[in-house]
Chains A and B, each alone.
Chain A
C-alpha cells in the first residue's frame, strides 16, 4: 500500500463523524414514532401533570404537534426545522427549546470542562506515581480508594458532599449556579460567585473521572515499565524523574488520550445526575425537569445537543491523537 498523506486520516475521521451524526439525527426523529405509545399518549398518561382524558383533546393535541400528518411531511418539517436551529417548543415553559438549550448549554460546558481538567491533573499524576511505585503501601491505598470511588453512584457521592462541605463545614453554597437576585458589583465578584457554586459539583464529577484516569494510567504505565527504552535510559544514567515522566509517562499518555475520548460519554451521563443533586442550571437540570413534566421536545433536544457535543469532542480527541503520536500520521 502506498503511504497516505496526513490529510486523509482527518477526512476519514470526519466522514465517520458525519455518518454517525446522520444516524443519530434520524434516530432522534424515528424513536418517538417507532416506540409503542407516543408523546401524546404520555401527555395523556394518568401520571403526567398535564393529564387530560378526552378523545377530542387528543385529536387537538395531535393536530397541534403536527402528528396527524403523513410521516414524510413530518420528516421534512423536522429536517427543515433542524437546519434553521428550530428544536420545537417546550410543553412546560411554552418557549422555543433552542432558547432554553442556549441558556443552559454554557453552564454544562463549564462544568464538564472544569471537571475534566481537574480529573486529568489529579488522576494522571497519581496514576504515574502509583505505577512507578507499584506494590508499595501508597499504591495499594490509592488503588483501593480509586477502585471504590470509580463504582460509587455519583448522585449519592454528591449528596454526601453537600452534607459535609455545604451543611456541616459551610464552605460552599447548597446548590444552584449563582446566587439568586444577587447583583455583583464587578466582573471579579461575579466570577467568584460562579466559581463558588461550581467548585463542589465539579469536584464530585471529577472524582469518578479521576478514578478512571488513574486506573487507565496506572495499568498502561505498569505495562511500559519493563520496556527496553527504560532499561537503556537507566543504563545511560538518566534521572528517575526524567524516566518517570518524560519516558514512561509520555508514552502511556497516548493510550490515555485515545481512551479518554471514549469516556466522555460516561462523563455526560454523570453530569446529568450531578446537576440534579446540586440544582445546577445546566442541561442535566433541564433533562430532569423535562422528565418530571414529560416535556418531550426538551428531552429530544437535550439528547441531540449532548450527542453532538460528545461526537465533536471525540473527533477532536482523534485528531489530537494524530498530533501526539507520529505513528498514526502515516
Chain B
C-alpha cells in the first residue's frame, strides 16, 4: 500500500506504536515499582537508569508507567469525542431543519468556552479519577469532530448513490450505516488520530495543574513535581527529572500528530493531486 511508503506516516506510526507498547507492557518493562522509595535525587546510574526524584522514586519506571495513564486517558477521551462527534454530526446532517440549527448553536457555545478553566472546574468537582477525566475531556473535544463530519456528510448526501438508496426506500439509519459511514471512514480515522494528540496534551496539562488520578503515575504530574522542587534549575537533577517526562509528552503528541498529518491526503483526496 502507498500509505506505508510515506516517511511521515512511518515516523508517526513508530512513535505511536512505541507509546502504546510501553503502556501495554509497563509492568514488564519498568525496573521498579514507580512509587517505591529509594535514594533521593540519585543521578542516572546502572541501578537507576534515569536517576530518582526528591523522594527517591525511579524516574525511568515512572516514565514507563506514565505512558499507561497517558494512553488510557487520551485514547478513552478521543473515543468518547469521536463517537459523540460522529453521532451528532451525522444526525444533524441527515435530519436537518430545527434539530440541525439547535445542534449548531450548542456547538458554537462549546467552541467559545475556554476549555481549561471549565475542565479544571469539572475535574476538581467530580474528582480527578481516570474515568472522570476520560468523560470530561471527551465531552469538550467532540464539537470540532461533529462540525467536520456534518459538513462532509452534507456534501455526501447530495451524491447520486445516496439519493438512489433513499429512492429505493432506505431509511435515514440505513443510509447512515451503509452509505455515509463507510464513505466517511478515512475522514473519521484522521480526525480521531489528531484528536488523540490533543487529548494527550490536555491530559498532560491538567495533570500539570495537579488534576491527575492520585492512584496513577502521570507525566504532567512529574513535571509539576519537578518544577515545584525549590531550586530545581540550580542543581543537575532537572536533566533526569524534568526532561524525561517533558520529552515523553512531546514525543507522544508528535507521534499522533505526524500520523494525522500523514493520513490527511488519504482522507481528503483533493490533496493527493496537489502534493508532489
Contact = CB atoms under 8 A, between A and B. Distances in A.
B250 A294 contact: no
Given A24-B113, A276-B209, A156 B246 contact: yes
A272 B109 contact: no
A296 interface: yes
A72 to B, nearest CB: 21
A195 interface: no
A309 B117 CA distance: 12
A163 interface: yes
A297 to B, nearest CB: 11
A120 interface: no
A163 B238 contact: yes
Contacts of B124: 42, 291, 294, 296, 299
Interface string A264-294: 0110110011001100000000011011101
Contacts of B233: 162-163, 166-167, 174
How many B residues are at the interface, by size bracket?
35 or more
B217 interface: no
A37 interface: yes
Contacts of B242: 159
Nearest to B255: A151
A116 B118 CA distance: 22
Nearest to A34: B125
B121 interface: yes
B238 A151 contact: no
B23 interface: no
Contacts of B220: 153, 155
Given A268-B116, A272-B116, A20 B125 contact: no
B122 interface: yes
Given A167-B234, A265-B115, A276 B121 contact: no
B112 A292 contact: no
Contacts of B214: 47
Given A37-B127, A167-B233, A314-B112, A155 B205 contact: yes
A55 interface: no
How many A residues are at the interface, by size bracket?
35 or more
Contacts of A121: none
A154 B117 CA distance: 16
Nearest to A272: B116
A265 B111 contact: yes
B180 interface: no
A36 B131 CA distance: 13
Contacts of A39: 125
A256 interface: no
Interface string A147-164: 110011111100110110
Interface in B251-269: 253-254, 257, 261
Residue among B114, B205, B209, B242 facing the most chain A CB atoms (10 A cut-off): B114
A151 B201 contact: yes
Contacts of B205: 153-155, 269, 273
Contacts of B210: 288, 291-292
A307 interface: yes
Contacts of A37: 125-127
Contact of B117 (A19, A42, A45, A268): A268
B197 A151 contact: yes
B42 interface: no
Interface string A3-19: 00000000000001001
A211 B246 CA distance: 20
Given A31-B125, A42-B125, A151-B197, A265 B117 contact: no
B188 interface: no
Contacts of A160: 246
A24 B220 CA distance: 29
A16 to B, nearest CB: 7
A137 interface: no
A61 interface: no
Contacts of B94: none
Contact of B126 (A36, A151, A159, A310): A36
A153 B204 contact: yes
A151 B198 CA distance: 8
Interface in B217-235: 220, 223, 227, 233-234
A174 B40 CA distance: 25
Given A287-B117, A291-B210, A299-B121, A24 B109 contact: yes
B143 to A, nearest CB: 11
5 contacts: A151-B201, A265-B111, A265-B115, A272-B120, A299-B121
The 10 A-B pairs of least Cβ separation, nearest first, read A156-B246, A269-B116, A268-B114, A303-B117, A167-B233, A35-B125, A306-B114, A151-B257, A151-B253, A153-B249
Given A288-B210, A294-B124, 11 more contacts: A16-B108, A19-B105, A151-B253, A156-B250, A174-B233, A269-B117, A273-B208, A277-B227, A287-B117, A300-B121, A303-B121
